[in-house]
Chain A
Amino acid sequence: MLVCCAFLLAGCGEDKANTIKIGFNLPLTGDIPEVGEGSKNAAEMYLKDINDAGGLEVGGQKYMLEFVYMDNESKAESATNVALKLIDQENVVAIIGPNSSKQAVPAGGTCNDNHVPMISPWSTNPNTTLDRPWVFRAAFLDPFQGPVVADFAAKKFDAKTSAVLFDVSNDYSKGLAEIFKSSWEAKNLGPVVAFESHGTKDQDFSAQLTTIIAANPDFIFVPDNYNQVALIIQQARDLGYTGPFMGSDAWGTPDLIKLCGDVCFGNYFSTHYAAAGAKGATKVFIDRYEAAYGATPADYAALTWDSIGIMLEAIKNAGKVVSDPVEMRSLIRDGLSAIKSFDGITGSSKFDAQGDPIKCAVVVKISDKGEFVFEESVCP
């Protein structure tokens, strides 16, 4: 019996030496299923590219890639479970995801404790990578995004007062709302006249919006997921608010337009890249994605693409592939920290000591046709 087991294990070990197994921690169901879907699509495209070319070349030898996708149901607790499953059962050498900070902050802790390199494509909350040497990301940070939003709104809307409505049970939304508030006040732009919150499953925001509208702000900042934005903007218009809204990168989903319709048109949000009018490698990616899936890739798809690029570069930097996942993980981590800058399709970035990229943000306008049109680019 033991001998049999030993044989089986040995067999597995030999197999594994030829493949590199990377796990994906994605929200395929739950509050933001489009995000998981888009990331998975981008990953499948990347996987096909590499494996059709015979695999990834590391230290002069080609290795096939294997991607394992797992659903974290857009929940914080499921994201840590998925991370543990990928580490203990699937024995992956690295993890990409989770996307949203709500899942990436807890899952980042799990990966760091278990010494598994992780890259979050889309998380912008500082806590995801803070003091976690094993956790990296591909997106800019909220302490950068918050001031971008504040500056843009002050200039564009000539705003003196602002109001904020955010999801109190979402790390991303709450963190960004607080950063925005402090940067708005630090710039002496004027007061934040209303700072209201709601829960994730809420559908009626009329009480909060009534308070906000009574305070008469020049614009309302809503750092929320697209499904909530669709309801919030419509209810605000029903309550007689006619002013502008400003959003954050969580708005950047084609589904926003599907759910929200023309009440969303004419508003602005900050994001990682603008699909309309892209050039170079970004345009190649967008065209290929559109041909394959019949939809424009949103920012999380592009960021997943870049995350995979960063991860593969780290594996190349590692110089060799070993069958022991624990040893391989630490080689990849060293490879990751060796990357000083990376030119991706969402712009080029330099990495700081925390594993956070320093890169530009763009502000996008939702046009009258429902397209996300480039408005301006802000670099740190």
Chain B
Amino acid sequence: MDFIIQNILNALQWGSFYALIALGYTLVYGVLRLINFAHGDIFMVGAYIAFFVAGFLLGPMVGLSPLVTFLLAVPLTMFLTACVGVTLERVAYRPLRRKGAHRLYVVITALMCGLILEYSNLAVLGASRLKFPELVEKTIWNLGGVTITNLKVIVIVAAVAVFIFLNFIVTKTKIGMAMRGISYDKFAIPLMGIPIDAIIVFTFVLGSAFAGLAGLLFAMSYPVLEPFMGMIIGWKAFIAAVVGGIGDIRGAFYGGFLLGFIEVGVVTVFPSTYRDLFAFTILLVILWMKPTGLFGMPQSTKI
């Protein structure tokens, strides 16, 4: 029994990262119908930004305590990562959109942006791995055979909080209504006096900021950073978002946790070689029965 509960906790932590990244995919897709393949690398950039922010705040110039550093690093990392996301939108996606390029070309551009982020990191910082400093003093609670760290709790709470926050923004606020409006018909929306570019920038701000938060939390949980850390987790989070029904906030959230649970579950029962094979077979079966994903609806208002 302890064994099962322990693995549920493991899966919740691992799923939280998928969910956080998948939310970014879903937001951008929901508004722009664009699969932002650079999102996994924005997550990687977020982890590196967190590394430098934490290093600066802990360093001799500022010299804050680890806890204060953590509290400051969260908004700073989110802000700076949002800047990267918005820059990407301004430099790469907006010009294409203005020229009326087909969606396919924008997706290819996104792939290229991701590679540029990876390899410019490799060129600037080198292949050597970085060690993320410990910001939260780790406490390990042992509850009758099940262990959980305070960091695990922070990660899981953050994922749930981000989901509730985004759900609130999208369904209850005016800007969320505008986002849903663009998703419904992006040609009619400007006629209503809604600044479409501002809404799109806002979407990128939200998606990238939470990728930054995921990067920070990931770097704290797995404190070894490398330039390609965002690639595979980014792909898998994208798959999680598709299985959940891409464009739907709930879909990204549940899809992320679903993938986390399947991966941990398969490794628990079978040798780890079968993990991705089984995990993606299960996801394929879900899509086969419901091609629009768990929460997806065929071409209608989403997000």
Number of A residues with CB within 8 Å of any CB on chain B: 33
Enumerate chain A residues within 8 angstroms of B11, measured Cβ to Cβ.
Answer: 207
Q: Which of A13-39 contact B (CB under 8 A)?
A: 28-30, 33-34, 37
Instruction: Tell me if A28 and B131 are in contact (CB < 8 A).
Output: no
Q: Which of A178-201 contact B (CB under 8 A)?
A: 196-199, 201
Q: Is B177 an interface residue (CB 8 A)?
A: no
Instruction: Tell me if B142 and A240 are in contact (CB < 8 A).
Output: yes
CB distance from B254 to the nearest CB of A (A): 20
Enumerate chain A residues within 8 angstroms of B290, measured Cβ to Cβ.
Answer: none
Q: Which of A193-230 contact B (CB under 8 A)?
A: 196-199, 201-204, 206-208, 210-211, 214, 227, 230
Q: Which of B210-238 contact A (CB under 8 A)?
A: 222-224, 226, 229, 232-233
Given A33-B126, A230-B224, A206 contacting B271 (CB threshold 8 A): no
CB distance from B144 to the nearest CB of A (A): 11
Mask for B264-286, Cβ within 8 A of A = 1, else 0? Answer: 10011001110110000000000
Instruction: Tell me if A208 and B267 are in contact (CB < 8 A).
Output: yes
Enumerate chain B residues within 8 angstroms of A33, measured Cβ to Cβ.
Answer: 126-129
Enumerate chain A residues within 8 angstroms of B3, measured Cβ to Cβ.
Answer: 210-211, 214
Given A206-B13, A208-B267, A227-B129, A234 contacting B223 (CB threshold 8 A): yes
Instruction: Tell me if B147 and A197 are in contact (CB < 8 A).
Output: no
Main secondary structure of the interface of B (DSSP, over half): helix
Residue of B nearest to A230 (CB): B224
Q: Is A319 an interface residue (CB 8 A)?
A: no
Q: Is A239 an interface residue (CB 8 A)?
A: yes
Number of B residues with CB within 8 Å of any CB on chain A: 38
Enumerate chain A residues within 8 angstroms of B147, measured Cβ to Cβ.
Answer: 238-240
Instruction: Tell me if A206 and B224 are in contact (CB < 8 A).
Output: no
CB distance from A76 to the nearest CB of B (A): 17
Mask for B79-94, Cβ within 8 A of A = 1, else 0? Answer: 0000000000000000
Enumerate chain A residues within 8 angstroms of B272, measured Cβ to Cβ.
Answer: 168, 196-199, 202, 208
Q: Is B167 an interface residue (CB 8 A)?
A: no
Q: Is A231 an interface residue (CB 8 A)?
A: yes
| Complex Cα gap A253–B224 (Å) | 15
